[in-house]
Structures are given as structure tokens and as C-alpha cells.
Structure 1
């Protein structure tokens, strides 16, 4: 508590986004990558649909942002996230994701429609903790805290 108080006097915000993802997305564009997976994410024409897509679109609306979707393989999406071309990866990712050293990972969320008994996670750029915190707060309200 003392550290947070001292840091707030220095103009430092905890958690923070070194690259400003939350500020850039709020009122702007949320760039999201996904890969099709059963009922979770289905392709309908050029746009994905399904329970994960609905959750992300709801988060974007919460931030007054427009969602732009990219559909590709997980490897391609993670590379795009690392290069700053995506803000979020959502789909059938689980806590066992091999991308943990390349991206920030949300807590696992059980009970998302279409996931069966799997917990799902979403990926954000490394270090973008304010954005990650906002996403987890939204997911906690919509699908329940794990």
C-alpha cells in the first residue's frame, strides 16, 4: 500500500502499459487475432463468430472500440502480437499454451460456451498490464472469476 502511494505521487500508474495498449484501444480499434475451433470460433464468410468472438466484441464495446479480426494460425498470430500488429489473441487457447514466454496470458476461464471442460485464456502483448487487467475484469464480470 505504501509503495502504491509513493508511486502515485511520482505520476506512475500501477498497473501500466509501456506501449499504451489500453489507451490506444479505448475509443479506437481493438485488433484481434483468432483461429477457428469448433463451436468456439467459426468462420462465416470473412468474419469469425461464436462465443469467444461475442466475448471479445463485448469487451471492445465496453472500451468504445471497433473490433478488427485477423484469422490465421496461432504461430502467425503470436508473431503479429509480438510485432505490435495485434492487441489480443482469443480462441481455444488454454492455460497450457506454449506461447507463455511470448505473450501476457489471462487467467483461465472455465464455463465459456463451446469450451466443454476446458479453461480458456487470451493473449495480450507482454508487459501491457493495464490492458490485461481491464480484460480480466471484463471477463470476470461476463463469465465469472476462475
Structure 2
């Protein structure tokens, strides 16, 4: 009975689970997905301002599914992690794996093993605490690049 009371109180407060304290999913949907890219073989290619590769194609597909445009920022993994922490980008791609040392500073998606060009389990990096955003990304990746 106490759990039911708590659930009813939370439902009445307008809280949804998962949620985004910074509203990342809401500002990306129908707007701009600010994506960071760090070159990594076939996964992420960088030619001037052009970003390509299998991970970049997945990000472009994710953006399309959210009626958003992708705006790329190219940098080192460390620079991209800094950008995630400051809210300058919404996600980062590169050759990051499930053993990434960045997991103490940013959120990490589930590992995906079937992405072309991957030599192991690939993850995307996200801002900490943006749980609805992470759920949307993982839902899309589960359909397009089964874990």
C-alpha cells in the first residue's frame, strides 16, 4: 500500500520517468542535435568540416527520427567530454568502448557490437543525468544497431 501512495503522489506531481533535468531530448526534438565527433577509423571519419562513418550515419538517422538537424563539433575525446559537461554538445561519438575512462564524467550508452568498423563494444557519450535523452538514443540504437 505505501508504494501505491508514493506512485500516486509522483504521478500527481507531473514527474515522468525517465526525465531530463536539462531538457536535452526536448530541445533536440524538432531542433538541432549538437553532436561531437572524434575521428576513429571507419566508425567516425573527419574530412575538414565533414563528418562521416558508420557512427555518424547512426547519429544522422537518430536526428532524422527526431525531426532534428545535426550540427557537428570535431575534437579530441577530452575536448568532447568537456563540451558534454558544459552542455555545448548533446552526445559524442568516436572509438569509445564500454571500458571508456570517461564514464566518471559523462553518461555512457549500452555497448553495441554490430556497428560496422567496430573492433569491440562501442558506446556513445552523453551528458550526465539526461535519462530520457539516453533512453531515446538507446531505443533508436537498439533498432538500428542491436546491442
| Cα distance, 1:9 vs structure 2 | 2.3
1:4 Cα offset (Å): 4.8
Find runs of 4+ consecutive structure 1 residues off by over 6 angstroms: none
Give me the whole-angstrom Cα distance separating, in 2, the residues matched to 1:136 and 1:6. Answer: 29
Length, aligned pairs only: 144
Instruction: List aligned pairs for 1:64-83, cutoff 5 A.
Output: 64-83=67-86
Change (3 A) 1:5 1:95: farther
Q: Verify: 1:127 aligned to 2:129, yes or no.
A: yes
| TM-score computed with the length of structure 2 as normaliser | 0.93
Are the counterparts in 2 of residues 106 and 132 from structure 1 also a CA contact under 8 Å? yes
Residues 14 and 67 of structure 1: CA distance in aligned 2, closer, same or farther (over 3 Å): same
Structure 1 residues 125, 9: CA separation in 2 closer, same or farther (over 3 Å shift)?
Answer: same
Larger Rg, first or second structure (1 or 2):
2
For the residues of structure 2 that align with 1:108 and 1:39, how far apart are their CA atoms? 17
CA distance, structure 2, for counterparts of residue 60 and residue 52 of structure 1: 12
Gap runs ≥5 in structure 2: none
Distance 1:73 1:141, change over 3 A: same
Per the alignment, residue 137 of structure 1 pairs with 139
The SS at the match of 1:78 is: helix
TM-score, structure 1 length as denominator?
0.94
Q: Does 1:23 align with 2:16?
A: no
Q: Which residue of 2 aligns with 1:11?
A: 14
- Determine whether 1:112 maps to 2:115: yes
Unaligned runs of 5+ in 1: none
